[in-house]
């Protein structure tokens, strides 16, 4: 059974009298342990697809299954649980909380999940060390480099041990050397720990290096799926 399956998934945005078919009948399957990249031009629907899978948005048509459970039709509460426990998300702009230090940012999902305090601390320290930032516990986001910020965001996304990591252009704000380092981290988590990764990227060359599957989007439609 695929961990993620979409069937004719569509998302239309209506603004006044303008309709945008951001995603148009997309059917995909992602299996546990796969590294899958989504590529396509700006506006092709990549973030729309990620946000639907992440439970941040709901489709106008079609179905999404996560681990066999249908996401569309879930109550708001069920969707909130999906976002908190089933998936971890990272973004181009890191989205760290500026008034919380690195360790506190990583701890936040554990606090929201109601994990006991002593376990929160232990887990957050484990996570910050996993991403190689043991000397940065007390640094605030403004005191971290872009690459370090994204590593904190990865650690935070993995705090509640999600089944899938969703990464929407995780290297979009990073230079090429730092980008490689972040992709290396994601690839390491995939190969070493079997983490399923779904990543949006503009960089086809990098996608080809690390992915088991590449999904190409154009104008909201899947135009090609390359499998290794």
**Chain contacts with ligand ATP (rule: CB under 6 A):** 13, 15, 20, 22, 40, 42-48
Q: Which of 81, 70, 222, 83 is nearest to 164 (CA)?
A: 83
Per DSSP bridges, beta strands 196-200 and 69-70 are unpaired
Minimum CB separation of residue 168 from Mg ion in Å reads: 6
Minimum distance, C-beta of residue 183 to ligand ATP, in the bound complex (Å) = 17
Q: Which does 75 bind (CB under 5 to 8 A by kind): ligand ATP, Mg ion, none?
A: none
Whole-angstrom Cα distance, residue 142 to residue 96? 10
44 contact, one of ligand ATP, Mg ion, none, CB 5-8 Å limit per kind: ligand ATP
Closest distance between Mg ion and the C-beta of residue 56, in Å? 12
Q: 57 or 148: whose CB is closer to Mg ion?
A: 57
Q: What is the CA radius of gyration of the chain?
A: 17
User: In terms of DSSP bridges, do strands 4-15 and 18-30 run parallel, antiparallel, or are they unpaired?
Assistant: antiparallel
| 3-state SS, one letter per residue, for 34-82 | CEEEEECCCCCCHHHHHHHHCCCCCCCEEEEEECCEECCCCCHHHHHHH
Site pattern 43..82 for Mg ion (x: CB under 5 A): ----x-----------------------------------
The span of 15-23, 39-47, 101-109, 112-120 binding Mg ion (CB under 5 A) equals 39-47
User: How many amino acids of this chain bind Mg ion (CB under 5 A)?
Assistant: 1
Residue 37 in the binding site for Mg ion (CB under 5 A)? no
Q: Which does 141 bind (CB under 5 to 8 A by kind): Mg ion, ligand ATP, none?
A: none
Cβ-based nearer residue to ligand ATP, 72 or 160: 72
Contact partner at residue 206 from ligand ATP, Mg ion, none, CB < 5 to 8 Å by partner kind: none
Q: Which is nearer to ligand ATP, 120 or 171 (CB)?
A: 171
Q: Which of 177, 193, 187, 171 has its CA nearest to residue 36?
A: 187
Of 83, 61, 80, give the one whose Cα is nearest residue 162. Answer: 83
Out of ligand ATP, Mg ion, none, which partner does residue 147 contact, by CB within 5 to 8 A per kind? none
Using an 8 Å Cβ cutoff, are 135 and 141 in contact? Answer: no
State whether residue 104 is helix, strand or coil.
helix
- Rounded distance, CA 32 to CA 22, Å? 27
For 197, list phi and psi in degrees, rounded to 5.
-125, 130
Task: Output 47 or 216, the one with its CB closest to Mg ion.
Answer: 47
The DSSP 8-state label assigned to residue 183 in this structure reads: H
To the nearest whole angstrom, how small is the minimum distance from the Cβ of residue 202 to ligand ATP? Answer: 7
Tell me which residues touch Mg ion (CB under 5 A): 47
């Amino acid at each position: 059974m695929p961990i993620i399956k979409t069937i004719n998934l569509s998302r239309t945005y209506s603004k006044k009298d303008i309709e945008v078919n951001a995603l148009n009948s997309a059917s995909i399957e992602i299996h546990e342990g796969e590294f899958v990249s989504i590529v396509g031009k700006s506006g092709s629907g990549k973030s729309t697809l990620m946000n639907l899978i992440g439970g941040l948005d709901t489709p106008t048509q079609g179905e999404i299954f996560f681990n066999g459970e249908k996401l569309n039709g879930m109550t708001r509460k069920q969707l909130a649980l999906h976002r908190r426990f089933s998936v971890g998300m990272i973004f181009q702009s890191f989205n760290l909380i500026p008034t919380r230090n690195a360790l506190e940012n990583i701890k936040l999902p554990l606090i929201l999940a109601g994990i006991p305090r002593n376990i929160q601390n232990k887990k957050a320290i484990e996570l910050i060390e996993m991403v190689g930032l043991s000397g940065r516990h007390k640094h605030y986001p403004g005191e971290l480099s872009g690459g370090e910020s994204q590593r904190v965001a990865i650690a935070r996304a993995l705090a509640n041990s999600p089944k899938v990591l969703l990464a929407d252009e995780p290297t979009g704000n990073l230079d090429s050397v730092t980008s490689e380092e972040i992709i290396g981290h994601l690839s390491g988590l995939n190969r070493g720990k079997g983490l399923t990764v779904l990543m949006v990227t503009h960089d086809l060359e990098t996608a080809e290096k690390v992915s088991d599957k590449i999904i190409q989007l154009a104008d909201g439609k899947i135009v090609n799926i390359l499998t290794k």
